[in-house]
């Protein structure tokens, strides 16, 4: 089965539409979304409408829960907090209810899906270091976990009692007996120096994962953010992938 795994759209309609076009060529059988449909970008309702129709299921991200009052936003940086407050005022009642229904962790056979980490997903921990990865691997039994949250593509492998190793995030064939955590990057606000929208394709029959990067109309997304009165930094960072 071929999976498409998307994460962190963050109200960026232009990026999401570009990924939709790319998905037509990929033709996956299942589509999962790892959370943060909203926040930062200017089209939260439009993105949610697409994701609801597109995906087989979603998990919630911290911005999703923040937008409907299910997680504390005081720890958010000022730009993120400002965007969440803006989003709260504009989300439709239907989309508010939809976000409240989303869970934090899903499992499907030998796959696990979370926004932040499989361990304590409600704490919204970032998974950026090897010690953090070691702890995360101990928290789930599946062979492969997909995550987002950091907006940075990453592939981490764990073989038996060996230390966690990093693999090239662009493409990997999973080794028999090894376990993996894969960060699929961000559709709507990449932070790894690439401006293109990012998402992942996983073929479980071939045990092959590929990171897809898709160009989109960054300028249009930037202009929408500025016209909406959202913090200018949220617009400017898109063209730099930071």
Q: What is the pLDDT of residue 125?
A: 95
- 58 vs 105: CA distance, rounded Å: 9
Q: What is the pLDDT of residue 103?
A: 98
What tens digit of pLDDT does each residue of 65-79 get?
A: 999 999 999 999 999
pLDDT tier, 147 (very low <50, low <70, confident <90, very high otherwise): very high
What tens digit of pLDDT does each residue of 84-103 get?
A: 999 999 999 999 999 999 99
Are the C-beta atoms of residues 10 and 41 closer than 8 Å to each other?
yes
The top-level CATH class assigned to 2-239 is: alpha beta
Distances in Å between the Cα of 127 and the Cα atoms of 27, 186, 214, 231 are 30, 15, 24, 26
* Summary mean pLDDT of the chain: 98
Tell me what the mean pLDDT of segment 196-204 comes to. Answer: 99
Q: Where exactly are the structural domains of the chain? A: 2-239
Q: What is the pLDDT of residue 68?
A: 99
Q: What is the pLDDT of residue 65?
A: 99
Q: What's the angle, vertex CA 77, arms to CA 76 and CA 79, rounded to 5?
A: 115
What tens digit of pLDDT does each residue of 47-64 get?
A: 999 999 999 989 999 999
Write down the pTM of the prediction.
Answer: 0.97
Tell me what the mean pLDDT of segment 156-181 comes to. Answer: 96
């Amino acid at each position: 089965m071929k999976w498409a795994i998307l994460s962190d759209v963050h109200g960026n309609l232009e990026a999401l539409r570009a990924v939709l076009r790319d998905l037509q060529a990929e033709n996956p059988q299942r589509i999962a979304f790892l959370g943060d449909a909203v926040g930062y970008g200017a089209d939260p309702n439009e993105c949610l409408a697409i994701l609801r129709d597109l995906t087989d299921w979603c998990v919630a991200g911290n911005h999703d829960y923040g937008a409907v009052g299910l997680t504390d936003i005081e720890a958010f940086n000022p730009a993120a907090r400002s965007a969440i407050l803006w989003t709260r005022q504009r989300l439709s009642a239907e989309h508010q209810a939809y976000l409240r229904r989303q869970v934090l962790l899903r499992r499907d056979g030998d796959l696990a899906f979370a926004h932040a980490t499989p361990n304590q997903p409600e704490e919204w921990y970032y998974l950026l270091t090897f010690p953090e990865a070691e702890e995360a691997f101990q928290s789930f039994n599946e062979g492969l976990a997909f995550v987002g949250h950091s907006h940075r593509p990453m592939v981490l492998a764990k073989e038996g009692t060996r230390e966690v190793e990093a693999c090239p995030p662009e493409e990997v064939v999973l080794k028999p007996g090894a376990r993996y955590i894969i960060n699929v990057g961000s559709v709507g606000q990449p932070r790894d120096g690439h401006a293109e929208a990012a998402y992942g394709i996983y073929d479980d029959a071939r045990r092959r994962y590929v990171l897809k990067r898709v160009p989109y109309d960054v300028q249009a997304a930037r202009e929408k953010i500025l016209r909406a009165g959202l913090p200018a930094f949220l617009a400017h960072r898109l063209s730099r992938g930071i």
